[in-house]
Chain A
Amino acid sequence: MSSKDTPYAVLAEFANPADLMDAASEVNKAGYKHFDTYSPFPIHGMDDAMGLKPSKLGWIVLAHGIAGLLGGVALQVWSMDIAYPLHISGKPYLNFPAFVPVAFAVVILLASFGAFMGMFFLNRLPRLHQPIFNSDRIAKATDDGFFICIEATDPAFSEQQTSEFLKSIGATYIETIPE
Chain B
Amino acid sequence: MSMDHHHTALTDRLTFPEENKISTGFFAAGFVGIALSLIGLFVNTEQFFYSYLTSFTFIASLFLGALFFVMLQHITRSSWSVVLRRIPETISLQLVWLGVVFIPILFGMEFLYEWTRPERIATDELTQHKQPFLNIPFFVIRNVIYFAVWAFLGYRLYKNSVAMDRSASEKLDKQQRVISAPGILVFSFTVAFASFDWLMSMDSHWFSTMFGVYYFSMSFQTILAVVIVMVIYLLRKGLLVNTINSAHIHDLGALLFGFTVFYAYIAFSQFMLIYYANIPEETLWYYYRFEGSWIVLAYLFLIGRFVLPFVLLLGKKAKSNHKILLGVSLWIILLQFLEIFWIVMPILHKGAISIHWLDLTLLLSFSGISAGLFFRQFARHSMVPKNDPLLSDSLNKH
Chain A residues with CB under 8 Å of chain B are 18, 21-22, 25, 44-45, 48-49, 54, 58, 62, 89-91, 97-98, 100-101
Task: With both chains docked as a complex, state the minimum distance between the C-beta of B6 and any C-beta of chain A, in angstroms.
Answer: 10
| Residue pair A101, B1 in contact (C-beta under 8 Å) | no
| Residue pair A48, B276 in contact (C-beta under 8 Å) | no
Contacts of B97 in A (CB 8 A): none
Contact of A101 among B272, B278, B314, B398 (CB under 8 A): B272
**B209 contacts partner chain A, Cβ-Cβ < 8 Å:** no
Identify 11 residue pairs between A and B in the complex whose beta-carbon atoms are under 8 Å apart, listed by A's number: A18-B3, A22-B2, A45-B1, A49-B1, A58-B315, A90-B278, A97-B271, A97-B272, A98-B276, A100-B268, A101-B272
Instruction: Scan B2-24; emit 1 where CB is below 8 A from any A CB, else 0.
Output: 11000000000000000000000
| Residue pair B1, A21 in contact (C-beta under 8 Å) | yes
| Residue pair A98, B398 in contact (C-beta under 8 Å) | no
| Residue pair B278, A89 in contact (C-beta under 8 Å) | yes
Contacts of A54 in B (CB 8 A): 316
**B357 contacts partner chain A, Cβ-Cβ < 8 Å:** no
Interfacial residues of chain B within 192-246, with CB under 8 A of chain A in the complex: none
| Residue pair B275, A97 in contact (C-beta under 8 Å) | yes
Minimal Cβ-Cβ distance residue in A for B315: A58
| Residue pair A100, B272 in contact (C-beta under 8 Å) | yes
| Residue pair A45, B271 in contact (C-beta under 8 Å) | no
Q: Please measure, in the bound complex, the distance between the C-alpha atom of A173 and the C-alpha atom of B88, giving whole angstroms.
A: 51
Task: With both chains docked as a complex, state the minimum distance between the C-beta of B80 and any C-beta of chain A, in angstroms.
Answer: 12
Contacts of A62 in B (CB 8 A): 314
Q: Please measure, in the bound complex, the distance between the C-alpha atom of A11 and the C-alpha atom of B276, giving whole angstroms.
A: 63
Contact of B398 among A48, A91, A97, A100 (CB under 8 A): A48
Q: Please measure, in the bound complex, the distance between the C-alpha atom of A91 and the C-alpha atom of B268, giving whole angstroms.
A: 18
9 closest Cβ pairs, A-B complex: A45-B1, A22-B2, A18-B3, A97-B275, A97-B272, A45-B398, A89-B278, A98-B276, A54-B316
Interfacial residues of chain B within 295-339, with CB under 8 A of chain A in the complex: 314-316
Task: With both chains docked as a complex, state the minimum distance between the C-beta of A159 and any C-beta of chain B, in angstroms.
Answer: 28
Task: With both chains docked as a complex, state the minimum distance between the C-beta of A29 and any C-beta of chain B, in angstroms.
Answer: 12
| Residue pair B1, A97 in contact (C-beta under 8 Å) | no
Contacts of B315 in A (CB 8 A): 58
Interfacial residues of chain B within 37-58, with CB under 8 A of chain A in the complex: none
Q: Please measure, in the bound complex, the distance between the C-alpha atom of A48 and the C-alpha atom of B247, giving whole angstroms.
A: 13
Minimal Cβ-Cβ distance residue in B for A49: B1
Q: Please measure, in the bound complex, the distance between the C-alpha atom of A27 and the C-alpha atom of B76, giving whole angstroms.
A: 37
Minimal Cβ-Cβ distance residue in B for A48: B1
Contacts of B276 in A (CB 8 A): 97-98
Task: With both chains docked as a complex, state the minimum distance between the C-beta of A176 and any C-beta of chain B, in angstroms.
Answer: 28
Q: Please measure, in the bound complex, the distance between the C-alpha atom of A98 and the C-alpha atom of B276, giving whole angstroms.
A: 7
Task: With both chains docked as a complex, state the minimum distance between the C-beta of B298 and any C-beta of chain A, in angstroms.
Answer: 12
Q: Please measure, in the bound complex, the distance between the C-alpha atom of A81 and the C-alpha atom of B272, giving whole angstroms.
A: 19
Minimal Cβ-Cβ distance residue in B for A25: B2
| Residue pair A98, B272 in contact (C-beta under 8 Å) | yes
Minimal Cβ-Cβ distance residue in A for B271: A97
Q: Please measure, in the bound complex, the distance between the C-alpha atom of A90 and the C-alpha atom of B277, giving whole angstroms.
A: 11
Contacts of A90 in B (CB 8 A): 278
Q: Please measure, in the bound complex, the distance between the C-alpha atom of A54 and the C-alpha atom of B317, giving whole angstroms.
A: 10
Contacts of A45 in B (CB 8 A): 1, 398
| Residue pair A58, B275 in contact (C-beta under 8 Å) | no
Q: Please measure, in the bound complex, the distance between the C-alpha atom of A57 and the C-alpha atom of B387, giving whole angstroms.
A: 40
Task: With both chains docked as a complex, state the minimum distance between the C-beta of A146 and any C-beta of chain B, in angstroms.
Answer: 14
Contacts of B278 in A (CB 8 A): 89-91
Task: With both chains docked as a complex, state the minimum distance between the C-beta of A47 and any C-beta of chain B, in angstroms.
Answer: 10
Q: Please measure, in the bound complex, the distance between the C-alpha atom of A62 and the C-alpha atom of B278, giving whole angstroms.
A: 35
Task: With both chains docked as a complex, state the minimum distance between the C-beta of B4 and any C-beta of chain A, in angstroms.
Answer: 9
Q: Please measure, in the bound complex, the distance between the C-alpha atom of A59 and the C-alpha atom of B275, giving whole angstroms.
A: 35
Task: With both chains docked as a complex, state the minimum distance between the C-beta of B346 and any C-beta of chain A, in angstroms.
Answer: 20
Task: With both chains docked as a complex, state the minimum distance between the C-beta of A139 and any C-beta of chain B, in angstroms.
Answer: 28
Task: With both chains docked as a complex, state the minimum distance between the C-beta of A52 and any C-beta of chain B, in angstroms.
Answer: 13
Task: With both chains docked as a complex, state the minimum distance between the C-beta of A112 and any C-beta of chain B, in angstroms.
Answer: 16
Instruction: Scan B256-299; emit 1 where CB is below 8 A from any A CB, else 0.
Output: 00000000000010011001101000000000000000000000
